[in-house]
Chains A and B, each alone.
Chain A
């Protein structure tokens, strides 16, 4: 039994390059059990690559990734059994119905029939997809597809959730449901690492925030620690983010656009 505060995910000197592009630049990161860690950063800052390396989808060029006491490189299948993952813009099997897709995912994770049925029905109701579960996914809106992807990540009760922009495409009500669900899962000891562009979401939901920029980890901590690091007492996450990433002076850009 692990207790809150112990390390769930440990990245040590992890780096990844794609030809001449540095996607992740020697990142060290400890994620504690039962916390929600937000990965924050502009486009191309290495958030998605970091998440994929934690899951073992991408092999780091150097460094090591330890997930729930398992080395992701040594036993990626064992890691995947314990992790729920939602990629950025998930592609689902559009020829299946929502129900068939979830049934398929439940079987992939080896859930028994009664458990699978109970969980699928529970989540479909929670995500307000009842009545559409028998339709082919090809007719779903982007938000509905995102809900199906989220349910498929929650279905097998993972101990670690890796969510890449989990609230993208969701309406405010559904977004609220997902936020509440994540908080409840956190209370049950589930660790969540989520990437987001939306600073308000990160500030409202995450216990700690890791700010990434050009593959590097610029800062890590809760709001208080980030304010101290940025030397911006009383400021919000937007100001901290812009200062730490060195992109605070956007006035020139706006003026150039208005010309």
Chain B
């Protein structure tokens, strides 16, 4: 293996980030100081947190509390390899999903004298560059610093090695998954024929839901502590699963079982080598595999006269709406948009049912209902509005060269984001109403409120999506400039609060939300009417802005 080739390939992958960072590409000069800022920051943060925890640990006077603290820290050290494994899997697989639409992101340059071993190792390491590596550095520096206070330096050293090995293990698994999914999905498409589009859509959806549920379970507050304890004890029970051998090695070391430590460590090393060998073999066999063509339609071509025409859309506008629908159901990198509403229903429901380690609530609250009815549609419309222009990518030249007016562009894109979000709201609304069983008045008011949010926030985010459109596609589609997305998400949040405030006031005056003073009651329908007026004003003002942005966008087509 030529290690220099591996480093060169990794560096190519790191450099692909230049395109999405949007730096000046002409007369480009690498500014290395910024390149390592993420890792340096993570290291400093880890040391600071470690120092803070250490000082706190030393200052604790109560020996019982100290023992408890000691035990907690040991649990953390033990569970870290498995936790890092899971998190690295989530990070690296999410990275792969985002790159799904870009074939050229890290294609093996097969015409160059590079072996598949070198390519596989580079690809495996490249998965870890960025956030996963920063996360590992943060944890390692924390462990190293904190272990000085705990006087557990040998355990910490082993834990850091285990962390690095876990991350590599996760990344190798992702590499295997990446190659396999290309091959397996290809085979599924071949056998499923016309249904391939829906097989892909539903398959990707299920996969993403599973991953986001794991992700939210790991990152949702108190449940992390439950998970740490659970992982620490569970990995002893499932010691025969190779993925927990690193954690088992740490546990053995902590209990002074040197022979077991050596056995588990060597077994882990062997497992990593076997996985890497499998990844190399799969890459050799399928690395240049071209998935078979998906045949969507066969037989005679019959132009469709859709019902969109009857709704007042021109053929051009209807064509764009139909095209966008196909984009969001066929492009894997866009499918994650469907996950958000599902996750936003799943998470509160999981919490409500006690699946996240919290006590089961006796009665579903009004807040749960309001959340399920309002949040998914509103979040969906903001996300769609921001990305709906940028998702065109390099194909946007067709918009610039075709006779589309600014008004038509805004109309069809606005129609798409609002229709889609309304469907989401209706589906979520049915689930919310079935779970929370509210009164008819409340249900209708919340549904109207949700529609108002969708129509108002839709045009705000669309205006921003036009202004901040980013057509960068490599190494992953960016769709909207991060600063625009950030600023307008905050603006949407403020406007959503403004629109919702009359209903909030109604909830306060009706004492659904307890406050110390008594206020005159505001009727539900009066509150909804005031909301509607605010939403109308927002929609009108931002529609004008969106139109102006669209006019400028079509004139400045210098891509």
Interface residues of A, Cβ cutoff 8 Å to B:
19, 55, 57-59, 76-78, 80-81, 83, 85, 87, 90-93, 95-97, 99-100, 103-111, 113-114, 116-117, 120-121, 132-136, 138-139, 152
For A137, give the chain B residue with the smallest CB separation.
B293
CB distance from A144 to the nearest CB of B (A): 11
Interface size band for B: 35 or more
B403 touches A93 (CB 8 A): no
| Complexed CA–CA distance, A136 and B303 (Å) | 18
B395 touches A92 (CB 8 A): yes
Residues of A within 8 A of B292 (CB): 139
| Complexed CA–CA distance, A59 and B318 (Å) | 29
A116 touches B303 (CB 8 A): yes
Asked if B326 CB lies within 8 Å of chain A CBs, one says yes
A108 touches B297 (CB 8 A): no
A117 touches B301 (CB 8 A): yes
Say which residue of B314, B320, B330, B405 sits within 8 Å of A95 (CB atoms): B330
| Complexed CA–CA distance, A111 and B315 (Å) | 8
Residues of B within 8 A of A132 (CB): 293
CB distance from A151 to the nearest CB of B (A): 13
A107 touches B397 (CB 8 A): no
A19 touches B26 (CB 8 A): yes
| Complexed CA–CA distance, A152 and B402 (Å) | 11
A107 touches B315 (CB 8 A): yes
Query: With A85-B401, A99-B301 as given contacts, are A139 and B314 in contact (CB-CB < 8 Å)?
Result: no
Asked if B16 CB lies within 8 Å of chain A CBs, one says no
| Complexed CA–CA distance, A119 and B320 (Å) | 20
Asked if B398 CB lies within 8 Å of chain A CBs, one says yes
Asked if B15 CB lies within 8 Å of chain A CBs, one says no
User: Using an 8 Å CB-CB cutoff, how does the interface string of B386-426 with A read, 1 for contact, 0 for none?
Assistant: 00000001110110111111000000000000000000000
A95-B326, A108-B316, A109-B402 given; name 6 further pairs at CB < 8 Å: A80-B403, A100-B296, A107-B319, A109-B403, A121-B301, A136-B330
Say which residue of B26, B304, B402 sits within 8 Å of A80 (CB atoms): B402
Say which residue of A80, A93, A113, A120 sits within 8 Å of B323 (CB atoms): A93
Asked if B361 CB lies within 8 Å of chain A CBs, one says no
Residues of B within 8 A of A104 (CB): 319, 322-323
| Complexed CA–CA distance, A132 and B393 (Å) | 24
Residues of B within 8 A of A59 (CB): 555-556, 558
A100 touches B316 (CB 8 A): no
* 18 pairs, A vs B, C-beta closer than 8 Å: A57-B400, A59-B555, A59-B556, A76-B554, A83-B401, A91-B397, A93-B395, A95-B330, A96-B326, A103-B303, A105-B398, A108-B403, A113-B303, A117-B302, A132-B293, A135-B294, A136-B294, A152-B398
Within 8 A of A (CB), among B282-330: 290-298, 301-305, 314-316, 318-320, 322-323, 326-327, 330
Residues of B within 8 A of A78 (CB): 403
CB distance from B408 to the nearest CB of A (A): 9
Residues of B within 8 A of A99 (CB): 297, 301
Asked if B358 CB lies within 8 Å of chain A CBs, one says no
Asked if B557 CB lies within 8 Å of chain A CBs, one says yes
User: Using an 8 Å CB-CB cutoff, how does the interface string of B316-346 with A read, 1 for contact, 0 for none?
Assistant: 1011101100110011000000000000000
| Complexed CA–CA distance, A52 and B297 (Å) | 35
| Complexed CA–CA distance, A139 and B290 (Å) | 8
Say which residue of A19, A76, A113 sits within 8 Å of B305 (CB atoms): A113
Say which residue of B296, B320, B397, B404 sits within 8 Å of A77 (CB atoms): B404
B316 touches A107 (CB 8 A): yes
Residues of B within 8 A of A105 (CB): 398, 402
For B317, give the chain A residue with the smallest CB separation.
A107
CB distance from A153 to the nearest CB of B (A): 9
| Complexed CA–CA distance, A110 and B316 (Å) | 6
Say which residue of B290, B298, B314, B401 sits within 8 Å of A55 (CB atoms): B401
Say which residue of B394, B401, B403 sits within 8 Å of A57 (CB atoms): B401
B403 touches A58 (CB 8 A): no
CB distance from B277 to the nearest CB of A (A): 31
| Complexed CA–CA distance, A51 and B138 (Å) | 53
Say which residue of B296, B326, B393, B555 sits within 8 Å of A76 (CB atoms): B555
A81 touches B403 (CB 8 A): yes
B397 touches A87 (CB 8 A): yes
CB distance from A200 to the nearest CB of B (A): 28
CB distance from B539 to the nearest CB of A (A): 26
For B296, give the chain A residue with the smallest CB separation.
A97
For A19, give the chain B residue with the smallest CB separation.
B26
| Complexed CA–CA distance, A182 and B400 (Å) | 24
| Complexed CA–CA distance, A58 and B179 (Å) | 42
For A114, give the chain B residue with the smallest CB separation.
B303
User: Using an 8 Å CB-CB cutoff, how does the interface string of B16-45 with A read, 1 for contact, 0 for none?
Assistant: 000000000010000000000000000000
Residues of A within 8 A of B318 (CB): 107
Residues of A within 8 A of B298 (CB): 134
Residues of B within 8 A of A110 (CB): 314-316
Say which residue of B304, B319, B397 sits within 8 Å of A108 (CB atoms): B319
User: Using an 8 Å CB-CB cutoff, how does the interface string of B533-559 with A read, 1 for contact, 0 for none?
Assistant: 000000000000000000000111110
B405 touches A136 (CB 8 A): no
Residues of B within 8 A of A57 (CB): 397, 400-401, 557-558
Residues of B within 8 A of A134 (CB): 295-298
B295 touches A135 (CB 8 A): yes
CB distance from A70 to the nearest CB of B (A): 12
Residues of B within 8 A of A103 (CB): 301, 303-304, 319
